[in-house]
Structure 1
Amino acid sequence: MKKVILGIVVIVLVCVIGGAVYRQQGVTQASTAAMRTVTDSTGTKVQIPMHPKRVVFLNVSNMDLYVTAGGTAAIAGKPTSHAMSPELQKAVAQVPEVGIIHSPNVEKIISLKPDLVVGINVPFHNQIRKTLQDNGIPLYINSLDNYEDTIKTLQFFGSLTGDEKGTQEKIKAIDAKCHAVETLKNGRASPKTLIIFSSPASNNMATANSFSGDVLRRMGGTNIADFDASLSAPYVPLSMEYVVKQNPDIIFIISMGTSAQMNDEFRHQMQVASSWRQVKAVRDHRIYELPMDLFTVNPGSRIGDAMLYMAHCLYGRGESS
């Protein structure tokens, strides 16, 4: 009798263990089938879900494009930012914040239990990769420096949300608008332009390797920062001597974290300082402040609006100082 009972126990144990192994294999196979390996903008290979269910965004531009690709319901965390369009603010109104772009709150991010975090290629995003990885959370770094990046990102996000068809239709609409805006430069003179990226810490010139510089190039403007081949970074220190020498026809100002009072003081300095008064753009009152939500960061799906705004300034339809 004992042998019979022992035999039954052994059989039961084998079945239980075998079932557990089978279930574990099934989970592993399911997990493998539900994941994909991608290479992000830093060249890092990252394993992410095929269709993420909880995504935390560290910057507005990527989040805007994910919403455009039909992924609003999957957004679990958003950056603290004033650079959102009213439509985007409404779409993510109930989503918890995870800190400003320069200082993401890692503890908050982890507490939201995301299956994917998306940021941009800046030190303060790259630095949290290991901490997230230690908590089983993949970080995908996605740069948005130009129009091509925007379109590629939309295609990729469409594959993540599963709405490839709807996303492709939106890409066609964005592409059509941008190409229509580009025709506004046809037959027009190419004005020499300075783009100033202004922050409380410093003032820099934007080159063609920045988003605003790429828009200027597409709209037929000539960026004086590109006259010097050694200036290859997206933003380089503003040199008054260089500006006077190049004598731009137009000046664009993009404010990043500066107060209205600081902006007014900067513009006033342009009008009274002898060095600035040598510049044609200042003498002709062709100084334009570019909207924060369109130019401080890549505006994502609103890239056509950014191009149109700049075109109007370049070719006589913008509001000047």
Structure 2
Amino acid sequence: MPSARRLPAALLLAALTLSACGGQQSSGQDPPASGGENGFPVTVEDASGEVTLESAPQRIVSLSPTATEMLFAVGAGDEVVAADEYSNHPEEAPTTDLSGFTPSVEAVSEHDPDLVVLARDAQEAAEQLRKLDVPVLLIPSATTLGEAYGQMRMLGRATGHPGKGDEVADRVESQVDEIVEQTAEEVGDADLSIYHELDEGMYSATSDTFIGQVYDRFGVRNIADSAEGAAGGYPELSPEYVVEQNPDLIFLAYGGEGAVRAVGQRPAFDEVAAVRNDDVIRLDPDISSRWGPRVVGLAESVAEALTAAAQEG
């Protein structure tokens, strides 16, 4: 990930949520529930290791937009009493001014939580909350679809909704697979290349990131993979490099229609196939930066664009 001091605020948000940082990842293969009639205590695995929850949480604070979406999807929405400032989906999410990037333990404690869900970057806050005997789950940024499905299952088990968690994960996986298979039939042997742009600074995402893995499922060539700095997952591309690579499609994870027009106005970009063929596509910034259940919508947007580009050829 590029240094936070070099990234603008909007990109920092996307990079943090899409980070391909190392460390222990949730495998989705957590130990089975055991204990009383309601299935508790339950032991699950988060970014810090095994976490045992003695009883089903009734007051959950979520400081991760993706986790908030997952919690509502797996049936734990009624137990979420507070969510961070960027948790804007679903509409009924109890969004507050709590920060997920620099969590205030004092502010979180005011909501009297019996479970706090944090992004893995908030390790210090997690340790402080655990000292106060508040159960914490650190959710790592998924780098593959499989990890995303595993987190849905894990949150279902951790909140007392194992069946719903499995159901949601299975449904999302099935729908994504179906979209990929159908797109492969429609695209045929078209050899398409893509460029995913995170912000106006032309930072991109390689196939080692979550969004890159989504593109990889469709069998397209990601021009960021061969760029200088690709090893970090989020290389900063130069205009000259993009023009040279001549991507068939450009996906923007920010801005509005003005951003789409601005890409076409860059020097020499009128020579890029994506610009010539009007294949510069703006993705929903939230959906494209989160790995929750709405990844189905992301796959649909990518599939639609790839199908249209293939038919043009």
- Look up the match of 1:40: 46
- Look up the match of 1:216: 215
TM-score normalized by the length of structure 1: 0.74
2:58 to 53, 58, 63: 53
Give distance in 2, aligned partners of 1:276 and 1:97.
41
Shift of 1:174: 2.0
Counterpart of 1:312 in 2: which secondary structure? helix
Letter of the structure 2 residue corresponding to residue 152 of structure 1: G
Residue 125 of structure 2 is aligned to residue 128 of structure 1: yes
2:80 to 40, 51, 75: 75
TM-score normalized by the length of structure 2: 0.76
Shift of 1:36: 5.0
Deviations 1:30-61 (A, max 9, x none): 9xx955554422x4454444522222111121
Percent identity over the alignment? 22
Give 5+ residue unaligned stretches, structure 2. Answer: 1-34
Higher mean alpha-carbon deviation, 51-60 vs 157-166, is at: 157-166
- Look up the match of 1:114: 113
Q: CA RMSD in A?
A: 2.8
Given the superposition, is the C-alpha separation of residues 163 and 133 from structure 1 closer, same or farther in structure 2, using an over 3 Å criterion? closer
Shift of 1:114: 1.2
Residue 149 of structure 2 is aligned to residue 151 of structure 1: yes
2:136 to 135, 139, 147: 139
Give 5+ residue unaligned stretches, structure 1. Answer: 1-28
Contact map agreement 2:250 2:274 (CA 8 A) in 1: yes
Contact map agreement 2:260 2:282 (CA 8 A) in 1: no
Contact map agreement 2:42 2:52 (CA 8 A) in 1: yes
Give distance in 2, aligned partners of 1:267 and 1:164.
42
Give distance in 1, aligned partners of 2:194 and 2:95.
40
The size of the alignment, in residue pairs, is 270
Counterpart of 2:163 in 1: which secondary structure? helix
Give distance in 1, aligned partners of 2:42 and 2:151.
16
Shift of 1:97: 1.6
**Alignment of structure 1 residues 1-321 onto 2, 5 Å:** 35-36=41-42, 38-41=44-47, 43-81=48-86, 83-84=88-89, 88-90=90-92, 92=93, 95=94, 97-122=96-121, 125-143=122-140, 144-183=142-181, 184-186=183-185, 187-198=188-199, 202-228=201-227, 231-255=230-254, 260=256, 264=258, 266-298=259-291, 300-316=292-308
Counterpart of 1:235 in 2: which secondary structure? coil
Counterpart of 1:314 in 2: which secondary structure? helix
Contact map agreement 2:62 2:84 (CA 8 A) in 1: yes
Counterpart of 1:149 in 2: which secondary structure? helix
Structure showing greater Rg? 1
More helix by share: 1
